[in-house]
Homo-oligomer: A and B are copies of this chain.
Amino acid sequence: MPPPTSAAVRAPRHLRLPVPLHLFAPGDGDDDERRIDALVRRFLEGEGVGSGVDEETLARGFRSTEIPAEPVAVAEYLELLERGVVAHATRTASPRYIGHMTSALPRFVLPLARLVAALNQNVVKLETSRSLSPFERQTLAMMHRLVYGFPPRFYDEHAQAVESTLGVATSGGTLANLTALWCARNGRLGPADGFAGAEREGMAAALRHHGYGRAVVVGSALMHYSFDKAADLLGIGAGNLVRVPVDRRQRVDVDALRRTVERCQAEGSLVLAVVGVAGSTDAGSIDPLEPVADVARDAGVHLHVDAAWGGALLFSRRHRALLAGIERADTVTIDPHKQMYTPVGTGLLFFRDPGLARAVEKHARYIVRRGSADLGRRSLEGSRPGAVVFLHAGLCLFGREGYGRLVDESVRKARYMAGHVRERHGFELLAEPETNIVLYRLLPSRSGSDAGADALDRFNTRLQRAQWEAGHSFVSRTTLEPGGGAAPVVALRAVLANPLTREADIDAVLDEQAALAEAMDDR
Contact = CB atoms under 8 A, between A and B. Distances in A.
Interface stretch (A28-36, A296-304, A420-428, A442-450): A28-36
A236 B235 contact: yes
B108 A364 contact: no
**Which of A89, A105, A198, A499: most chain B CB closer than 10 A?**
A89
Interface in A192-244: 196, 198-205, 207-208, 213-215, 224-226, 228-229, 231-240
Given A72-B399, A200-B239, A202-B235, A84 B146 contact: no
Contacts of A337: 383
A114 to B, nearest CB: 5
A267 interface: no
A25 B110 CA distance: 13
Contacts of A26: 44-45, 107
A383 B126 contact: no
Nearest to A144: B65
A172 interface: yes
Given A110-B117, A113-B116, A343-B385, 15 more contacts: A20-B406, A32-B107, A61-B134, A65-B141, A65-B142, A67-B146, A67-B400, A68-B396, A77-B396, A85-B135, A89-B132, A102-B120, A173-B382, A224-B382, A337-B383
A259 interface: no
Contact of A201 (B103, B175, B237): B237
A89 B130 contact: yes
A130 B67 CA distance: 23
A71 B235 CA distance: 45
Interface residues of A, number: 186
Nearest to A475: B127
A360 B226 CA distance: 12
A470 interface: no
Interface string A77-100: 100010011111110110000011
Interface stretch (A152-160, A349-357, A451-459): A152-160
A395 B67 contact: yes
Interface stretch (A286-294, A323-331, A476-484): A476-484
**Which of A11, A21, A37, A202: most chain B CB closer than 10 A?**
A202
Interface stretch (A245-253, A365-373, A504-512): A365-373
Contact of A236 (B125, B202, B231, B362): B202
Given A36-B114, A100-B128, A399-B69, A381 B141 contact: no
Contacts of A236: 202, 235
Contacts of A74: 108, 397
Contacts of A19: 405-406, 408-409, 499
A112 B406 contact: no
Contacts of A4: none
A163 interface: no
A154 B172 CA distance: 33
Contacts of A68: 395-396, 399-400
A473 interface: no
B238 A199 contact: yes
| Pairs of residues from A and B, 9 with the lowest C-beta to C-beta distance, nearest first | A235-B235, A202-B237, A203-B235, A113-B117, A88-B131, A174-B382, A36-B111, A29-B107, A200-B239
A199 B67 contact: no
A70 interface: yes
Contacts of A400: 67-70
A367 to B, nearest CB: 7
Given A115-B36, A122-B344, A105 B233 contact: no
Contacts of A18: 405
Given A44-B118, A142-B67, A232 B360 contact: yes
